[in-house]
Structure 1
Amino acid sequence: MLRVLVTGAHGQLGRELGFSVPQGVECVALERDALDITDAASIADALSRVRPAALINAAAYTAVDRAETDREAAHAVNDVAVGLLATACRERDIRMLHVSTDFVFDGASGRPYQPTDTTGPLGVYGASKLAGETRLRSGDAGGLVLRTGWVYSRHGGNFVLTMLRLMADKSELGVVADQVGTPTWARGLATTLWAFAENPDLCGIYHWSDAGVCSWYDFAVAIAEEACALGLLQRAPYILPIATTDYPTAARRPACSVLDKRDTWRDLSLQPLHWRAQLRRMLQDLKNRNPEDSSHDRH
């Protein structure tokens, strides 16, 4: 039995990791009250209690705009804490898998980013995540970094749930059309992380998102269409494509953050699934959710 400790148990990825544990794996998912990743003593205590063979770090500071004025907090979780986890795991011969982001790139490339491409984050969030990657990779050649982007699920705060809420209340929405990437259902990301956990010979930097490419505008249109088809929305609002300059934010976003996933598909023998098919599955999951889960979805 492979025992894996998962951090960030109450996050949208942490929850999906808990829902998708494969046979032959024992998952111990801890929330912040049980494991404060910014505290070396808390990390040591958790690792001593759980004694895992591997650790998946699904905890992160993800408030991209707030990070611009909350730099210390972003780096504490996304940077310094990763170093603490990496050191503790290395001392105990525990394999560490860490989730990073497409925001480590500047978005200026005209093609999907490969794991070996030059990084260049545009803001504090991306810089803090890149610093965390460096801490793990510099001290642990066996560690694994999995970059992803545009993650959503039926839990927590994300673009899909925000759009569903706005679409239920508004007849017209403006959505940015000049930022391009690939949506990622957290369930698929979790499944991929479990596959990496079960392949201990794989290390280094990998990329994962669902297949295909779209803008935030295209994503919003698809959400409206799929939600109406499932009865989650009574009507689809008019969605207006707008420019990034029409929707100013504190943090700059990469204009194109499409990730090249071919290494992951090859090394894990995975067949790529298109983002729209995954969106449909997530919305069906949302429609069918157990009412008992509703209280947890607010976390």
Structure 2
Amino acid sequence: MTRPARHPHRWGAVLLAALVLGLGLLLGQPAAGHAAPADPGASTALTASAGAVASTASVSTADPGKPGPQGPGGPKGPKGPKNKNAGDGSVNVSLDGLTDKPSTSVTLLLTITLLSVAPALLLTCTSFTKILVVLGLTRNALGLQQTPPNQVLAGLALFLSLFIMSPVLSEMNDLGLQPYMNGDATAAEAFTDGVAPLRTFMLDQTGDDELELLTNVAHRDLPKDRTEVSLSTLVPAFVLSELKQAFIIGFIIFIPFLVIDIVVSGALMALGMMMMPPVMVSLPFKLLLFVLVDGWALVVTSLVQSYNT
């Protein structure tokens, strides 16, 4: 029996085909430890996102001066007011509503200074000196040494001075102090405007003789008008005028009490009572007369009316 003829090329082709098929199956399966994507579209989106991130990183690092594409950011905060000068690098600070008012420290310093010189101003620039001298002379005319006490007379003189000077002080406050506190006037302007009412008051109460005397003592030329007198000359001239008027008023007050002393001393001489002090006898009559004529009211009225010129 004859054997069938063998075909060696046929078996070789079969083996080659099987080898190619096995390699294809091996290359088509996923690597171990990694799950295959369930959705083909998801793998495509993931690949696109990775490409976008890579392109953004490459652009941003390539040239920092040029703006590149920006990714999605968070919510933006509120924007501040725009500054017109932001482009030129300057800073614009607005101080609207603020004025040139003196600070608290300056106001406190001025208050302390005013309080320190207040006694001198009270004695030399107001009616306090004249009133106190007249009240003291009235007490001496009555023959009383410490009644009323000095504190009582000083307190009465102080409040009478405030009563007389109140229009002047109000005008000084309106013209000088308030504009300076509100920032409408400088310190020099406030002083000039504020001292004008006080200057007018002192000029009205100062005589020409005192002004001429102080001007000659200071070796200065006499001004053409009395309103041109400097404060350094006006203040002492005003004090001299006040003392002069106070002594005149005191002399008038002394006359009736002097008459009582003469009458009492003559009566004691006639009675032969040489050892009896006349003051002890005349004092009750002086007090009686002073009370009957309401002496304190007369003195205070005279003092106040002496400034109504």
TM-score class normalised by the smaller sequence? under 0.3
Q: TM-score if structure 2 supplies the norm length?
A: 0.22
TM-score of the aligned structures, taking structure 1 as reference length: 0.23
Where relative contact order (Cα < 8 A, 6+ residues apart) is larger, the structure is 1
Which is strand-richer, 1 or 2? 1
